[in-house]
Amino acid sequence: MSKYDVYGVGNALVDNEFEVPESFFTEYKIEKGLMTLVAHEQQEYLANILNKAYGVKKQSGGGSAGNTIFALTHFGGRAFYACKVANDETGDFFLEQLEHHNIDTSVSDREGGASGRCLVMISPDAERTMHTFLGVSETLSLDNMDFEAAGQAKYIYIEGYLVTSPTAKSAIIDLKAFARDSNIKTALTFSDPAMLEYFKDDVNDVLGDGVDLLFCNEQEIKLWAGTKKFSDACKAMEQKAEQFAVTRGADGAVLYDGDNYITIAGHPVKAIDTNGAGDMFAGAFLFAITQGKDFETAGNFASRASSEVVTLFGPRLDADRHQIIVSEVFT
């Protein structure tokens, strides 16, 4: 029996969320709807503006894979998270969140410098735009991988944002090879359209000869395939992913289980913050399939969970909301 349902690896970030008007992006020349990597000084400059003008709406542990692992554990799964934080208050906050939510990690040697932080700007249409300073996460490497823990997992889950770091990219390619040799399934999320716009070659290097399960949204799969036609993009993905899940916002999702396509309906809600929607979908889906649920059941569960998280500020739900969703869908 596997000790962990999922071994996740990703950037360790603390999110600060702000509500901003549409004009904010034009005024400060910010590319809306994408994640942009910035230097520490750039982020501090923008953080001062945001704090003075709007104030922090919510602070929480973040990171794409971190949010997914958080969701999985609160639904009842068991997880390990490999990451890197500095010896600072932000790192303390992130590790306290992992411990508080029963997520195992092996972070021990915490060097100087700064831990990663993300400024999340939420516009009136609920779209999230992120300015991310990776801090020491930028040098995540093979030294931060715990292969003993990875060898006890059903799935190894890899965050697409990691391709921006040469050392992290090398580490996750090695981790994928370890999973293949150990008969452990691999799952990858593209994480953000920016990864396909600016780091497509690196994404394909990590994809390599393929993955068992891939998560992305409709925009991302079209960017990856280089086509505007959704069906053609899915057909191309069949060559790289044994199975995949493509989220389509309010329209739900399309799943490929290796043989058939399954359409998952969306849930009509009033979205106020889409930050973390895809992460939640992946966390709920991974929880369901590692508990033996079929693809369609997992997809319906993930659609329900992701529709809930967009109705609140922040990328994560309170613990009790996870169990309410479990009881609604599985009983």
Rounded-to-integer distance, Cα 266 and Cα 300, Å: 9
User: What CATH number should be reported for the domain whose range is 4-330?
Assistant: 3.40.1190.20
Q: What is the tens place of the pLDDT at every residue in 140-195?
A: 999 999 999 999 999 999 999 999 999 999 999 999 999 999 999 999 999 999 99
Burial class (CB in 10 A: 0-12, 13-18, 19+), 218: middle
The pTM of the full predicted model, rounded to 2 decimals, is 0.94
Q: What is the pLDDT of residue 273?
A: 84
Over 80: is that where the pLDDT of 58 sits? yes
Angle between helices 218-225 and 200-207 (to 10 degrees): 90
Sequence length of the chain is 331
Q: Which of 3-7, 295-299, 324-328 has the lowest mean pLDDT?
A: 324-328
pLDDT at position 262: 98
Query: Between these two residues, 216 and 313, which has the higher pLDDT value?
Result: 216
Q: Classify residue 205 by burial, with Cβ atoms within 10 Å: 0-12, 13-18, 19+.
A: middle
Q: What is the DSSP string of 77-125?
A: --EEEE----SSHHHHHHHHHHHHTT-B-------SS--EEEEEEE-TT
- Residue 315 reports pLDDT greater than 90: no
Taking all residues of the chain, what is their mean pLDDT, rounded to a whole number?
95
Sorting pLDDT into bands at 50, 70 and 90, what band is 196?
A: very high
Could you give the CA distance from residue 103 to residue 12 in angstroms, rounded to a whole number?
13
Name the token pair of 72. 């999985």
Structure token pair of residue 248? 């389509």
DSSP-assigned beta bridge partners for residue 81: 8
pLDDT band at 234 (very low <50, low <70, confident <90, very high): very high
Whether the predicted pLDDT of 331 surpasses 90: no
| pLDDT tens digits along 286-314 | 999 999 999 999 999 999 999 999 898 87
Question: Residue 317: which pLDDT band, with cuts at 50, 70 and 90?
Answer: confident
DSSP 275: T
CA dihedral 136, 128, 320, 104 (to 10 degrees): -20
Distance CA 4, CA 77 (A): 8
Run of H or E including 279: helix 277-290
